[in-house]
Chains A and B, each alone.
Chain A
């Protein structure tokens, strides 16, 4: 028998309390992991969605707080396209747009002549013909989420659109889009002759030198900023807020878990005061007694963390059912994130078990032995 064996016996002796404590740690770890992963998944999904479009640079209004918040006059697109080194440019009006049954889609409006239409990976149907109105191409996830198929009508921002194509994008964000003629989206969103961003490709495959030159040239146009998808999302205030909120909730969840462990161990240690007196009476050092209590905390923590990771994956199964954004999110917890959450949980569990251990060994052994 060793300290771990002793700790195992003690935990097994109070199965209900031990199970509840482990569940508490598991819930804390699981919710922290799920929340932080959700936040990262939304960001990563958006990043991959933009990359899937094949952009070298994305042009936005200078100072726009987030990806939805920019306002660029449509005529500016021509000026951007005319910059030396720019291979092609296409404006896009981009917004969350409510559809039927409280579901939302990521509505993207492209002009009739946009090169982006040619890059749509159609699963079935077609893209709008020049001058065609009130037609839409849905991503397959949006189509499934809305329960619509080719030829059905879909209501976006109160306007009826006929589904003429279903696209098979690979990223979660693009699978949830509704692609509309730019003029239609401008009309129903009351943003005439405006776009939120300009996608562009740079000549020579976007080599760093060309990218830098084009970026500088775009910024000289005034009130515009050009950045790669990564740079743009890193500056997005919505994501910064989402990150901060996720972090705050995660910290609360983890601290609650630690308090749960602390409470469980304080109670368990109090119940075992007499036992601690026995250990002292047979010559155990304070350090060894403390170690035996801390080992218990660590054991609970390890099991709780494994449970927490499993719970976070289970929670991820429910992500697609989150109203409005469920079909836009894919849950991908990174190893880095899991390790970060587990290390935090582990440190808090060890600290949480040190306190009752320290408290227990301070008692006079004779007094501890008198306890029932």
Chain B
């Protein structure tokens, strides 16, 4: 089978600085090696990058995001945060608590809690008092336009509203890296537009690095960099609007 594979280092804009996060020769195998979700992936993401990860369903996009935030672990290879290998659950938990925010397609909110309480959850472990947690969560919900619904149970909110709660929760700790796994995948087009605008506005306001997994070409086009995955391989890694892509094709079986 022919595969196109990209040498990631070739695709990156020259910066000379240490990447914010990087995968080094990372593979992720399931079922004792029978299924390869990702194979020998090298990917470096610089601070301030806006990366769209595209590809067909089952290509390995979500696995890539899971590895980038440490909720999954590579079968081989290393994930580096600011040049240091991150290996333990404890290290990853610390990063997710302060440096990495995640937005899921399925929202992943706690159904028994209100919008405010869901955002507040992300502020636990930061040494804040309950009042300060609440105040901060309320401000975040105001920013995503949910001030009127912050005391509603999340189960009573629309899909778009839930995703905005999830975004508020993801940015609660002012992360440097925001990972969004198909954030508009479960939304109607109007809600999707609101959520997309919100994500990019937050990125601009906070100068966050963003990695966006999407099927939506229009959404992907808003990112400066595009990474395409196919069958667990990175087959494209380009800055379509700035630097010419450097794509290496090679045969792989």
Contacts and interface: CB of A to CB of B under 8 A. Distances in A.
Interface in A184-205: none
B96 A283 contact: yes
Interface residues of A, number: 25
Interface stretch (A104-112, A175-183, A272-280, A313-321): A272-280
B147 interface: no
Contacts of A285: 90, 93, 97, 125
A1 B120 contact: yes
B130 A2 contact: yes
Contact of A13 (B66, B72, B108, B112): B112
B63 to A, nearest CB: 8
B233 interface: no
A6, A275, A284, A365: which has the most chain B beta carbons within 10 Å?
A365
A1 B138 CA distance: 13
A369 interface: yes
A100 interface: no
Interface in A4-55: 6, 9-10, 12-13
A281 B69 contact: yes
Contacts of B97: 282-285
A278 B69 CA distance: 13
A365 B102 contact: no
A282 B71 contact: no
Contact of B169 (A274, A282, A288, A364): A282
Contacts of B113: 1, 6, 9
B94 interface: yes
Contacts of A274: 108
Contacts of A1: 113, 117, 120, 130, 133-134
Contacts of A148: none
A13 B111 CA distance: 10
B98 interface: yes
A188 to B, nearest CB: 70
A340 interface: no
Contacts of A281: 69, 71, 96, 102, 104, 108
A285 B89 CA distance: 9
Given A2-B130, A366-B71, A369-B71, A280 B112 contact: no
Given A1-B130, A275-B110, A288 B125 contact: yes
B71 A364 contact: yes
A284 B124 contact: yes
B124 A366 contact: no
B47 interface: no
A6 B121 CA distance: 10
8 closest pairs, A vs B, by CB?
A: A283-B97, A283-B96, A365-B71, A366-B72, A366-B71, A366-B66, A9-B112, A282-B122
A171 B73 CA distance: 72
A9 B118 CA distance: 13
A332 interface: no
Interface of A: 1-2, 6, 9-10, 12-13, 274-275, 277-286, 288, 364-367, 369
Given A1-B130, A281-B104, 7 more contacts: A1-B117, A13-B112, A277-B108, A281-B96, A284-B124, A288-B125, A365-B71
Given A1-B117, A369-B108, A284 B93 contact: yes
B7 interface: no
Nearest to B98: A283
Contacts of B94: 283
A274 B93 CA distance: 17
B173 interface: yes
A283 B130 CA distance: 18
B71 A279 contact: no
A369 B108 CA distance: 8
B121 A282 contact: yes
A274 B71 CA distance: 13
A365 B72 contact: yes
Nearest to A282: B122
Nearest to B99: A283
Interface string B43-68: 00000000000000000000000100
B102 A282 contact: yes
B98, B124, B169: which has the most chain A beta carbons within 10 Å?
B124
Nearest to B97: A283
Contacts of B110: 275, 278
A277, A280, A282, A365: which has the most chain B beta carbons within 10 Å?
A282
B94 to A, nearest CB: 7
Nearest to A275: B110
A278 B162 CA distance: 15
A285 B133 CA distance: 18
A364 B88 CA distance: 12
A283 B69 CA distance: 10
A371 to B, nearest CB: 11
12 contacts: A1-B117, A2-B130, A9-B113, A12-B112, A278-B108, A281-B104, A283-B122, A285-B93, A288-B125, A364-B71, A365-B71, A366-B71
